[in-house]
């Protein structure tokens, strides 16, 4: 009965997309665990980081600093800069976790790029709330289970070496692009996306990782980047 209600609220297509995102998430999570252990960290380190931080890009950034010989403060700073984009994302989905403080605190830990993309595509309080918790909890479970599995595999066989060697680094961007494409049907949204992409690309050689993404939000403030009433379809 609960599953039938879930299907009606979220929709079969969205549930399928969430499952695909979880699969991509698991592939990257397994690579994170394996790389961390093969780089010399104990298996409990990537597992604890994933449970407490739950931010793939920030975790890879911090891991890169540590494996390169950097200190804990440098690793934390790198992760914080990369995750700064989640602050405006959190405002965009602030209604989704629910009104209680406990729900908001727990929900804040589940905010990721993918969760925000799914929630912003939904309309109505119930649909947004159910989508938020379904996607957030599914991603949290798949990521952490995969990290633990990757850490065990990395300790047993020496790890997979490089996330880019197998193309796993492209999993997240590919999934997010697929989620964003339907929104680009509106002309105003396309303008905002193009402005933001141009700003981010121009800033990438000059700013630390994570900041160009924040700068891209400025595309929303430029002329023609806001839809009129009812949208501005092409």
CB 203 within 8 A of CB 212: yes
Do 168 and 68 lie in one domain? The reply is yes
Residues 6+ apart with CB under 8 A from 103: 97
Are residues 158 and 110 part of one domain? yes
pTM for this predicted structure: 0.69
Alpha-carbon distances, residue 208 vs 69, 71, 163, 169, 218 (angstroms):
19, 18, 21, 18, 17
* 145 and 53 belong to one structural domain: yes
One domain for residues 158 and 100: yes
Domains in the chain: how many in total? 2
- The pLDDT of residue 50: 93
Chain centroid to CA 62: how far?
16
Q: Distances from the Cα of 197 to the Cαs of 49, 172, 191, 217, 219, in angstroms?
A: 30, 17, 10, 9, 8
Q: Spell out the per-residue pLDDT of the chain, length 234, in tens.
A: 455 665 566 777 788 888 988 988 898 888 888 888 887 889 999 999 999 989 887 888 788 778 777 778 877 877 787 777 788 888 888 888 987 888 888 999 999 888 988 898 888 888 889 999 999 999 999 999 999 998 988 766 554 555 555 555 555 556 556 656 666 677 777 777 787 788 888 887 877 655 676 666 666 666 655 544 444 433
User: What's the pLDDT at 171?
Assistant: 54
Same domain, 167 and 58: yes
Q: Where are the alpha helices (DSSP H) in the chain?
A: 2-10, 12-38, 44-52, 56-67, 72-83, 86-92, 101-110, 113-120, 125-157, 171-180, 187-203, 211-216
Q: Which two tokens stand for residue 63?
A: 């891991």
CA distances in angstroms from 129 to 71, 98, 110, 116, 197, listed in the order given: 39, 7, 13, 11, 29
Question: Could you tell me the residue range of the domain that residue 145 belongs to?
Answer: 2-185
């Amino acid at each position: 009965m609960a599953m039938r209600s879930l299907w009606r609220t979220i929709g079969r297509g969205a549930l399928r997309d969430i499952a695909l995102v979880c699969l991509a998430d698991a592939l990257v999570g397994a690579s994170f665990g394996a790389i961390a252990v093969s780089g010399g960290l104990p298996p409990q380190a990537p597992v604890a980081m994933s449970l407490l931080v739950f931010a793939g890009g920030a975790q890879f950034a911090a891991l890169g600093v540590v494996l390169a010989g950097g200190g804990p403060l440098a690793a934390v700073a790198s992760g914080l800069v990369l995750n700064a984009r989640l602050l405006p994302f959190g405002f965009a989905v602030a209604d989704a976790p629910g009104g209680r403080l406990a729900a908001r605190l727990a929900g804040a830990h589940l905010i990721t790029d993918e969760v925000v993309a799914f929630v912003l595509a939904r309309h109505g309080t119930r649909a947004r709330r159910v989508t938020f918790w379904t996607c957030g909890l599914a991603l949290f479970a798949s990521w952490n289970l995969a990290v633990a599995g990757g850490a065990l595999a990395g300790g047993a066989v020496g790890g997979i070496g490089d996330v880019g060697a197998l193309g796993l680094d492209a999993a997240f961007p590919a999934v997010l692009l697929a989620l964003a494409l339907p929104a680009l049907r509106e002309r105003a949204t396309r303008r905002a996306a193009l402005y933001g992409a141009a700003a981010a690309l121009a800033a990438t050689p000059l700013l630390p990782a994570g900041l160009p993404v924040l700068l891209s939000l400025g595309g929303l403030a430029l002329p023609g980047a806001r839809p009129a009433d009812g949208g501005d379809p092409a």
